[in-house]
Structure 1
Amino acid sequence: MQHMLQPASATSRSRTALIFVLPLMFLVIGLALRFIAFRVAQPEADPTGFIQSMCRWDCGWYVKMAQTGYDPFPIPSRINAGNWAFFPFYPLLVGAIRLVLPFPTIVTASIVSLLTTYAAAVVAWPLFERNLRAFTLYAAYLLSGPFAFYFTSFFTEPMFVLTMTVVFVMLKRSNYLGAGLATVLLSATRIVGVFATLSLIVQAALDHRTSTGSWRGLIGAFLKRPNLLLAIFIAPLGLFAYMAFLNFYIGDGLAFQHTQRAWGRPFGNPIFFVWQGLTAWPNTGFWPTSSQWLAGAAVLGFVLTLVLAWRRQWAQALFAFVSLTLPLFAGLASVIRFTAAMVPITVLAAQLLASRRWLFALSLLGIIALGYVIPLAWLGNNVALV
């Protein structure tokens, strides 16, 4: 019997090692791909400027937040768009770490982002049901893929992905208090994170239905579980704490929403914005416009959300749907970034693409190839990637 168990034990140890080694390998590959793209896009630039070159658009705001915190009101010598639109957890965490490391802020932030995204890939393993091929694609996507510059520079995406992953891993294990604590951080990272509270409630209800075979007694069962009630109560505290801070600091607890007017964001029907984007045909040639790329990303996100619902992964589908829909009320800006960081649909995409060996191989090659091509567009200030 002992002899029969040895191969399984060795296989288990090898698989565990791969869970840690594969993301590390893709972390190194991703750095190499982006550095090559940097040298090709900016051949005259000093190689030491690589990390700074990847810091574009919102990254500059996060750097300033990590150094000086939030803007007062009125903003001295600044445009009227305050940085209150950016949620506090990740930039302030980097700001605290930079106080003990002897590096420029962007270097510290990039190191923290790399480690955070690496952790997000490792922590995601339980979501893949021992599917090593799908996990490989996912790790490659996060650390070497076309949008890895979001996850490895100074954006909130690394922490957003990590905390979201922890939420759904905890829910998978019916650890509601763990999911609630992770949602606190998620809701302090980005406004849509608070809607993971709904996913927590939905998953708890589904677990009750599975264990009892009925919806009867659901409310009573909830009331008899102090850990579940506590989880639901604390989950939105990240958002509420930020609102309380804004109210105290500048007198407007909803400044993160009100400042959108200064950013020139529209407000309207998401369906209209998506349709308008899809029909924004190029004036010449056949290459899609930036608006079409953004609208296409939104459509792809919703299609994958429908697949989650078809698979009865209701908690994940609900969070993905709300988190993709809410930003669309302000137009198509940043939709690619929001879709690229939506864990339920990116995990699902990796599972679908790993369903056949040939598809897995092509997908892995495509991820690596795009991990070089898309950073070229990023370095070229392609507005679709903002």
Structure 2
Amino acid sequence: MLRKDMSDPRATSPSQALSPPGWARAADFAAILFAILALTIPVSGGVRALVWGWHLKIVSPFRLLLFAAAIVVARHVLVGQPSLFRSLREAIVSWTRSAPLRTAALAAAGTRPVMFAVGYLTVIMLGYAPGAQPFRDFESELLNLPLRWDAGWYLGIATTGYSYIDSAGPDAQQNVVFFPAYPLLVRVVARLAGNSAAAYVVGATVTTVVLFVLALAYVYRLARERLTDDQAAATLWLLAAYPFSLFYGAIYTESLFLLGIAGAFYHFGRREFGRAAWWGLLVGLTRPNGLLLSVPLAITVLEGRGERPVGARIRGAPAACAAIAMPVAGAALYSAFIWRLAGSPFAWAAGHAAWGRHYEGLSHLVATRYGFIASVGLLEYVSREPYDLLNGLGAVFVLAAVWPVLRRFGPAYAAFILINILPPLAAGGLMSAGRFSSVLFPAFLWLGAAVPARHRAGWIATFAAIQAFNAALFYTWRPLF
């Protein structure tokens, strides 16, 4: 799937006309997966799990290799050409020539290591914030570096699963507020990497960066549907350098969420509703606001009503409706699990109150900030509430982008920004607003198109400098989360 999704559509080879049937591609994937799992067993020690009452134990690499060999033989007996090895070689060549993946990898490589370095050097040279109590699971500060703020919650879920203390209720911070897709993915990667404490931290960090690269590749493809090559590349660099994109290298859900929403938009726009549905389900299982993706997807259908004949729209309506519903279905699946665990399907929503999220409305947010600035002055506001200011700038940026996004890219993208930034502002104020703004990719599509080519380097450098400053705050345990 990645070969089709991430390769440059303008750079296809003639040999791709000869393609194995779908079941043969699935068999190839299974054989490669078994071979990879077999190679990880000497490091991980294998897999032991209880699945629906059955004890699953895979501790021998030879059995997996035997399964892989049997699949390869059966596949080539039934479908000889193109062979698995030829298909794999062509896929690798296609990936290396892919403009989306190349540009995404360069943007990630040009920003993520620098932010890690800034965080590490700040910790060892300047130290932590006064009174901070950072996690110290390792003797090495480098291994401790990713253990910041919500990372502890995600790693806790990945290692020991969910729990709920009835006597504490929603007034106590409990891990049910964190959705399962990301920690479950981290658990799989960590177990394959050795199932040690270091495997969880390093595996989660590497997983986050890889997901970010894939997410940027999808954003590039979305950009190329409306923008030039240069503008699409600028979009990726602006997004990667954005002051709050430091979370794309942290043990947070931003990378997975961006990948899911970009993948869902991309495939839904191409009427590939099956793939859009899977991405939508992932989004619904990744973050509480993931279910809201159904709204802009539905608007996308309304936008394209006049582009296709009535008969074609009617035939595609069931698949489109199913894809639209999948983000809600993902949240519903998690709610059903939480219902069984905590006795309430919405315990995850009620639990946000323990983090200070209470609905007060947008008017309250505006009135309190305006009144405070009017009474003490702007400079005093900045000195007393610097983190409020930083997060507020992120919110102002995406809100300012709504109108130009609406005019250039349509109501679906504009609605996507609004429904993902206004609710958290109304229930929680500016807390984490900067982080929330980092995944609202339509704002960066507009920025990549609006900034003249001669000014892009300056914008990217300024963004990156502020991101480095934010990284120093984040990694030294200051309240930028």
Deviation for aligned residue 1:90: 0.8
Quote the Cα distance in structure 2 between the aligned partners of 1:18 and 1:341: 22
- Give 1:340's aligned residue: 438
After the TM superposition, which residues 67-216 of structure 1 pair with which residues of structure 2 at under 5 Å, given as runs?
67-74=159-166, 80-102=172-194, 103-129=198-224, 131-211=228-308
> Percent identity over the alignment?
19
Quote the Cα distance in structure 2 between the aligned partners of 1:382 and 1:183: 34
Deviation for aligned residue 1:340: 1.2
Q: Which has the higher mean CA deviation after the structures are superposed, 186-195 or 271-280?
A: 271-280
After the TM superposition, which residues 304-319 of structure 1 pair with which residues of structure 2 at under 5 Å, given as runs?
304-311=401-408, 313-319=410-416
- Give 1:264's aligned residue: 356
Q: Is the 8 A contact 2:154 2:252 kept in 1?
A: yes
Structure 1 residues 269, 164: closer, same or farther in 2, change over 3 A? same
- Structure 1 spans left out of the alignment, 5+ residues: 1-7
- Give 2:124's aligned residue: 43
Normalised to the residue count of structure 1, the TM-score between the two structures is: 0.84
Q: Is the 8 A contact 1:278 1:291 kept in 2?
A: no
Matched, 1:349 2:444: no
RMSD: 3.1
SS at match of 2:392: helix
Q: Is the 8 A contact 1:176 1:200 kept in 2?
A: no
- Structure 2 spans left out of the alignment, 5+ residues: 1-9, 13-93, 128-137
Quote the Cα distance in structure 2 between the aligned partners of 1:84 and 1:14: 38
Deviation for aligned residue 1:155: 0.3
- Give 1:360's aligned residue: 456
Provide the aligned length of Structure 1 versus Structure 2: 368
| Residue among 322, 326, 332 paired with 1:230 | 322
Normalised to the residue count of structure 2, the TM-score between the two structures is: 0.69
Quote the Cα distance in structure 1 between the aligned partners of 2:228 and 2:371: 39
For CA contacts below 8 A with separation 6 or more, give which structure has more relative contact order: 1
Deviations 1:203-248 (CA, angstroms, capped at 9, x unpaired) = 1122113335xxxx79x95576332233234342100000100011
Structure 1 residues 275, 303: closer, same or farther in 2, change over 3 A? farther
- Give 1:3's aligned residue: none
Q: Is the 8 A contact 1:39 1:47 kept in 2?
A: no
Quote the Cα distance in structure 2 between the aligned partners of 1:298 and 1:371: 15
| Residue among 13, 24, 28 paired with 2:109 | 28
Quote the Cα distance in structure 1 between the aligned partners of 2:122 and 2:208: 23
Deviation for aligned residue 1:143: 4.4
- Give 1:370's aligned residue: 466
Q: Which amino acid aligns with 1:178?
A: R
